[in-house]
Structure 1
Amino acid sequence: MKEAFKLGLVINPFAGLGGQAALKGSDGLAHEALAMGIEPRAHERVRQALERIEPWRERLRLFCAPGAMGEDLLASMGFDYEVVGELSTAETTAADTERMVRLLQECDLDLLLFAGGDGTARDVCNSIQPGQLALGIPAGVKIHSGVYAVNPRAAGELVALLLQGELVRLGEAEVRDIDEDAFRQGSVRTRHYGELSVPEEGRFVQQVKQGGREQETLVLDDVAAWLQELQDDVDGWIFGPGSTNLGLLEAMGLQGTLLGVDVVRNGELILADATEAQLWELVSQGAWRILVTAIGGQGHILGRGNQQISPRVLEAVGLDNLFVVATKTKLRTLQGRPFLVDTGDADLDQRLTGLRRVLSGYREEMLYPVSWKAEAE
């Protein structure tokens, strides 16, 4: 049985009210729009998205904000869900959105789904943790931010791809908002507020058809170029064994070992075929990242041929600093089966279970599931 996909939901129930009222937005004007008889439509927009994922609801573990911010809609649709937090009043505010986003992230979400407009995206951006995957369901008057799906149905279809274990590219998208007061005076002024990590539509099959077979050496050159750009961010990189990582090192002009663990700092190979004790001594100080690859066709990323990368080494480096590199061709050989982990520490294996980012090209990442056990046929 597959691990449940943890999906969080938060809705701005007043999003879009200012549109039909010709108020050029809803920020601070929800009461005025309601007084004009405008009916809230945010729930209907989210319903359209959720209808697309209903066939896979058994794979979901849903967490939501209370009341009109999520709970009411999920209850009406018959979903199983867990509510986080409480609302002090029925009249929700931007502060409620920010607080709910913080609480939902404590549930270790695979994806945060939120509904609103650019103002809501700003609230999410203010509270989200680096690296937390998020996606917006467009429900507001103005949508200048790139973190929203093109429509609610597209948002649902994108979540459905994740639930089915399809390859979905990740990207960083801008959160922008417009000055509503200036807009109401006929002036369009947008401002960049930040970025969110978002899933993008998976076009894996289409790309293969257009470009022919993926050339692994070219992909490794691309990933190597990206890794070299990232080297300034950390003290160094620990490369696990395997032909993919060896190819990366060679693309960086370094002579690594096929079956050993190699350590790179400042663009130079400082340790070849390292032991666990040597790695432990290194990671006890400074910031490090670990890069492993999957055994082709089998899928193990930890516990097969790389036991030097032990549980204590992984814990010292931090699970957020564990990266997987795999070409899309290699991912296809797994036929949807998850990456496997067998570190020897059952608790650690459980914490590694879930979706993990996979480096698959130059500044290109994919999401792929990791499990401590092989999935049932």
Structure 2
Amino acid sequence: MDIRTTTSADQREASRHQVLHAIRSAGSIARIDIARKTQVSPATVSTITSELLGAGLIEEIEPLSKQTATKRGRPRVALRIRGAAHLIAGIKIASKAATAILVDFDGNTVADHEEPLSSAVMSAQELSERVGQMLTSVTRKIDRPMADLSAVGVGLAGLIDANKGFVHWSPSLSERNVALGQTLNKALPFPAFIDNDANLVAMAEQRYGEGRGRSNFIVITIEQGVGMGIVLNGNVYRGERGCGAEFGHTKVQLEGALCRCGQRGCLEAYVGDYALLREANIRPSDTPERDLSALFEQAQAGDAMAKTIFDRAGRMFAMGLANMINIFDPELVILAGERMTHDFLVWPEVLERLRASTVQVDAAFPEIRIHRWGDLMWAKGAAAYAVEHVSNHTIQRLAAHAA
């Protein structure tokens, strides 16, 4: 094989990805502006956009207004992603509910659906069946058969090798070391892609949320557990085994509290919902504490024990987050999730402790933003992940035909 031929083919495929990404990022954009943005030659951009038009992935729209047109010639024709090209699903498996969303190829929400889970822990087969049921329910809302889907992305908590579709451990599964991707692909008539839910939140923030236009940021998710998604140079970082960015399982106490992963001293064992309720239930009571909102209200009302629980969680969180900032030096930190309505992790004393524990330099401290949202955003991140795979597969197919 001629290495020069291979390199040239790789470059063309990379250029296709760049062009499609530029169109998706811009919303609508003229060919000449794609060339400027990507540094791909105008002739190559013209060839690639013709391929993408032929594949039905993009479409031409009305010429840009005369105000933005060149002084000579006709107004420039713009290109945009063709939403109707694919119908794609995303599913978030949480501890109490499963959420599904349908998006078009441009990422626009078409329908959504949520169902409670009778059990927080399932076998791989049971989870696969639940995914199928969710897809049937959500596609029924738009009178489309499930077979019309091009792909589904599934997000769940745990240690997941996304490239292999392999779950080392998840609180949602009754077994360890499960080839969940393989189980899903056997059960569904289209490809299924799985990933850690915090990685998918990072992707959702990058495409639709607070991370738009940012190349280096981290997302911390606080719910039943604690997760983290990392975006470095515009890409989600997952690690060699898919176990990177496990913020909740970084150690903050030697031989400390027991974590649901089976180890001791994890940050999650001090900050996660279950950890806070576990602390609260040390106090003798005829009615065990089961509602985090009620516990938080007790702390706000001055209950000494409840406030101590949240104070310690805040100190542990500040220590853990300072370590992440010291390692990655991000431009932005997003604290995300529905649980951010309980603002004990961003109390002034927590942020003060965070700053004091971070390396001090004569430069701006990373911006910290709070983004409160529920499971629908997680599901949209899963859908965005599936959109990315569908795009990659189509571009590889174009490259094969062009070879």
TM-score by length of 2: 0.27
Structure with more of its chain in helix, by fraction: 2
TM-score by length of 1: 0.29
Structure with higher RCO (Cα < 8 A, 6+ apart): 2
